[in-house]
Structure 1
Amino acid sequence: MTDRRVDLLFDARHLRQSGIGTYIATLLPSLEDTFAERGLSLALLVNEHAVPEVRPGTTVVTAPPAAMYTLGEQRVWARALNDVRPRGFWVPHYPFPFAALRHRGTRLFVTVHDTMHVRDREISGQSAARRAYARTMFQLDGRLASLIFTPSEATKATLTAMSPGARVTVTPIPVDEEWFAPVDPGLSPVQAPYVLYIGNAKWHKNLPLLLMAFGDVAGDVPHKLVIAGSGEALRGGDERVPALAAGLGERVEVMGRLDFPVLRSLVAGADLLVMPSLYEGAGLPPIEAMASHTAVLASDIPALRETCGGGADYFDPTDRAELAAALRAFCRDEDARAKLAARGWAHVTARQAGLSLAPAAEAVAEVLGSSTGT
């Protein structure tokens, strides 16, 4: 390691996953810049088979692969804290690292992307035991973390309702600049026209509503429904989804994870991107679609209203007929789609201006810089 005590150990093991991986990749440049500018030392905890490129001065600590929410993950954290003994430890998802209880001199920082795991079973798909586990973790985070970061005011509100004393700051996630770059339309694996869904098939994603609403209008529009980013995950989420997708035959196309240039082309080529979620912590796919000049329909829930603003049209995520009517109207009206896409572009470019995760990195550096360490 180093001759001096490391100022911050950041858990970057999930860099290659969707969602949390996007957050980590977006945060790391600001984290490295901020710590270098302040003369603070940074170490990254990474999977031994997935070591990212880092800048000079950033230390890499390797660990065996361990899934989220498992004892294996807790063991990885315990070993890393024992070996590194950092002044600060940042976990970019909500499970509380129990080893931190034995390292009271280490400041804990946590990112809570959403509180979906404590939602009712009809939304989360979680058992009572799993919901109790999540609530316990959120409460421990709230009591013991020096700072908690959330991507939206909506997530902050639900978190502080569970843990009123939590020190929470909102740091919205910007869209990666690559989403604003020109695309190669020839890379799209689907021929137009199509309606697009990006994500997995977990309960809170509410994919059955979209499948049923699309089935209601399939005879009236020429579009396919494309479900991307899921693949085999269709079998591990909402059990209604595979049968509903199969029932629509060739009108539904399901594909797994795609290389980024292909995904970008797929998003840019869609007539509509639909996000039917019952719950989200923030919601990146809609604003990534806006950056690709694609019109967006989003469920009318607080986090998506906060993230998408006036750049989307909204529907009640419990109203199949309302979504079907919106699909029918926009699939048939090219001018309406163009106007909605223009609203989305205006919203995402305004939102993007000056937005970064640097404030989160700076807040951590400020706590560590003002605390007493060895």
Structure 2
Amino acid sequence: MTDRRVDLLFDARHIRQSGIGTYIATLLPSLEETFTQRGLSLAVLVNEHAVSEVRHARIVTAAPAAMYTVGEQRVWGRALDEVRPRGFWVPHYPFPFATLSPRHRRTKLFVTVHDTMHVREREISGQSAARRAYARAMFMLDGRFATLVLTPSEATSATFAAIAPRARTTATPIPVDEQWFEPVDRALSPVAEPYLLYVGNAKWHKNLPLLLMAFGDVAGDIPHRLVIAGSGEALRGGDERVPALAAALGDRVEVMGRLDFDVLRALVASADLLVMPSLHEGAGLPPIEAMASHTAVIVADIPALRETCGDGADYFDPLNRSGLAELLRTLCRDSQARAELGERGWAHVTARQKGLSLTPAAEAVADALT
């Protein structure tokens, strides 16, 4: 290691979480490659017991600290003091106050805003007024002080710009991990077919009550079960309506926690249908991962999912229970329609993949540092 000042410190502490973890894990290889090609140096901030796999970057370890906490702010401050980078990339929205100190004021800040759900009304976000105010304050600080705000979709860039008009934003859509396109051993699926699948957590904006109620309306007409696959405890700490609704459907609903990747792939590939009923998303990875598995997909008709899923999915109104129920009934009874929808999704995701990588995100940050 030379004494030359590190060009970028990237925060990869949350690589093992769902959502943001997928983003970090997908981004790191292209970030390393881009910085190596540009002759720029990279440091990666990791938790003590969750070291990222990097080849050309300096590893900076920190004690674990939860998101949105004073502890996280302290971790950032200590890491900036230790590394003194020219740039600092935080892949989620809380603003690092240490960058305002005289010592780090010249440090260029890069922030990834995955969505603006945290400032939406409680019926969508599930957040208290205090938490929404916190998120809005963080967004406004990001927009004012960040050299660049990266988003996963044009839809998120637009909603962020409405909150922080001074922000410099760039949309860098997230590709599907290439592993989703590889052959899958469907025998690894832990659930007997046929079933419908939801992948994600149970936070308010995910709108799981709509899916559970619509499924309950058609459960007597179809042989399928509904499988809810999440990260860790899928129903813990989310929409408090969900556990009771799931329990009322008895063994027609199966809730699964964290799964090994090969098992998750088999679960997705073996599903008759993947459903994403969200009221708000930043982009939406599970639908296009399902498309890469040749699984038919239906999603809520919201801007971010329209942008991500294009003509590869069928759409429904996320406020219309009867409309979703009818769509479920129709597709569950028609294997030919599901097959055609699955092939439409495959065509969409393969075409999308050809034009995408996370290299533009890495290149945008590298450009700002040179």
TM-score by length of 2: 0.98
SS in 2 for 1:232: coil
Q: Which amino acid aligns with 2:362?
A: A
In the other structure, the counterpart of 2:57 is 58
Cα shift at 1:363: 1.1
SS at match of 1:242: helix
Q: Distance in 2 between matches of 1:60 and 1:5?
A: 15
Q: Is 1:18 aligned to residue 18 of structure 2?
A: yes
Deviation at 1:366, TM superposition (A): 1.1
Partner of 1:363: 364
Q: 1:276-335: CA deviations, max 9, x gaps? A: 000000000000000000000100000000000000000000000000000000000000
Contact 2:234–2:255 (CA<8 Å) still a contact in 1? no
| Percent of aligned positions that are identical | 80
Q: Partner letter of residue 343 of structure 1?
A: R
Aligned to 2:346: 345
- Aligned-pair Cα RMSD in Å: 0.8
Q: Which residue number in structure 2 is paired with residue 372 of structure 1? A: none
Contact 1:230 1:254 in 2 (8 A): no
Render the CA deviation track for 1:66-103: whole Å, top value 9, x for unaligned.
11111110000000011111000000000000001011
**CA contact 1:201–1:230 (8 Å) conserved in 2:** no
Q: What is the CA–CA distance in structure 2 between the aligned matches of 1:66 and 1:191, rounded to whole Å?
A: 39
TM-superposed CA distance for 1:230, in Å, is: 4.6
**Counterpart residue number, 2:210:** 209
Matched position secondary structure for 2:144: helix
* Aligned mates of 2:123, 2:6 — CA distance in 1: 44
User: CA–CA distance in 2 between the matches of 1:231 and 1:111?
Assistant: 24
Matched position secondary structure for 1:213: helix
Q: Would you say 1:32 and 2:32 are equivalent positions?
A: yes
Aligned equivalents of 1:69, 1:230: Cα separation in 2: 19
Distance 2:47 2:342 in 1: 39
Deviation for aligned residue 1:52: 1.9
Where does 1:149-168 land on structure 2 (aligned, <5 Å)?
Answer: 149-168=150-169
Unaligned 5+ segments in structure 2 are none
Equivalents in 2 of 1:235, 1:264: separation in Å?
Answer: 23
Q: Does 1:326 align with 2:351?
A: no
1:231 Cα deviation from its structure 2 partner:
5.2
Q: Deviations over 1:54-73 (max 9, x none)?
A: 11x31000000011111110
Distance 1:261 1:170 in 2: 30
Cross-structure match for 1:311: 312
Q: Residue 95 of structure 1 corresponds to which residue in structure 2?
A: 94
Q: Distance in 1 between matches of 2:14 and 2:157?
A: 23
Q: Deviations over 1:325-351 (max 9, x none)?
A: 000000000000001001100100010
Aligned pairs for 1:47-196 (under 5 A) are: 47-55=47-55, 57-102=56-101, 103-196=104-197
Distance 2:51 2:187 in 1: 32
Which string of whole-angstrom CA distances, capped at 9 and with x for unpartnered residues, describes residues 190-216 of structure 1?
A: 010000000000000000000000000
Distance 1:217 1:72 in 2: 47
The answer to whether the Cα contact below 8 Å between 2:139 and 2:163 also exists between their aligned partners in 1 is yes
Return the alpha-carbon distance in structure 2 between the equivalents of residues 119 and 354 of structure 1.
32
Q: Tell me if structure 2 keeps the 8 A contact 1:282–1:303.
A: yes
Deviation for aligned residue 1:2 = 4.0
Moved over 2 A (4+): 230-233
Name the structure 2 match of 1:244.
245
TM-score (norm 1): 0.97
Q: Deviations over 1:146-174 (max 9, x none)?
A: 01100011100110001111000000000
| Unpaired stretches in structure 1, ≥5 consecutive residues | 370-374
Residue 278 (structure 1) aligns with? 279
